[in-house]
Amino acid sequence: MDHDDHVRLIRGGVEGAGTTWADLGSGSGAFTLALADLLGPAGTIHAVDRDGAALRAQAEAIGRRFPRTTLHQYHADFTKPLDLPTLDGVVMANSLHFVRDKLPVLALVRGYLGPAGRLVLVEYDAEHGNPWVPYPISAGRWPSLAAAAGFEDIRELTRVPSRFLGAIYSAMADSGARP
């Protein structure tokens, strides 16, 4: 996958949904860069990852390609409570499949979102994992999991083929919070 694939996977959930977002489990920033591309210079991104070296690489890439995007980085574990502002959206791209017990994490994520907030998920469409993708969430299972965490208007956005586990899909869900 390349930058255009990353943008295409999250575009339908990001566009028109505000400018303050988080990328949880951001790694070196493939989807952080896609988010910066979609949000434009008015965007503010809160990137969270446990890998300090990946965060440094991400900061360099954002600075080089999207220098007007505001980037706040957190060297932290997204499965634990974070001190984040109220967010318009959260991207979790290839990160939630590392978490066995997903509902508590999704409850945390939902709590970070404002009344019109969105969660955009990018995940392998598989029921069974492997050492690199231990706990994937199939596209068929995602709606019930998101609904159990209190999300609403849950829908698949798009998908791309993958040589690992067949396909990668993106989906979005609204926070379900009311103003």
Q: Is 30's pLDDT higher than 70? A: yes
What pLDDT sits at residue 160? 86
What pLDDT sits at residue 178? 57
User: 46 versus 162: which is more confidently predicted?
Assistant: 46
Largest interatomic CA distance in the chain:
43
What pLDDT sits at residue 179? 54
Q: Is 163's pLDDT higher than 80? A: no
What pLDDT sits at residue 128? 87
Distance of CA 15 to the CA centre of its chain: 14
What pLDDT sits at residue 49? 98
Instruction: Give dist(CA 172, CA 170) in Å, integer.
Output: 7
Least confident of 41-45, 92-96, 125-129: 125-129
Q: Is 93's pLDDT higher than 80? A: yes
Residue written as token pair 């493939």: 30
Instruction: Give dist(CA 69, CA 121) in Å, integer.
Output: 22
Q: Is 92's pLDDT higher than 60? A: yes
- On average, the pLDDT of the chain sits at 94
Q: What is the pTM of this model?
A: 0.95
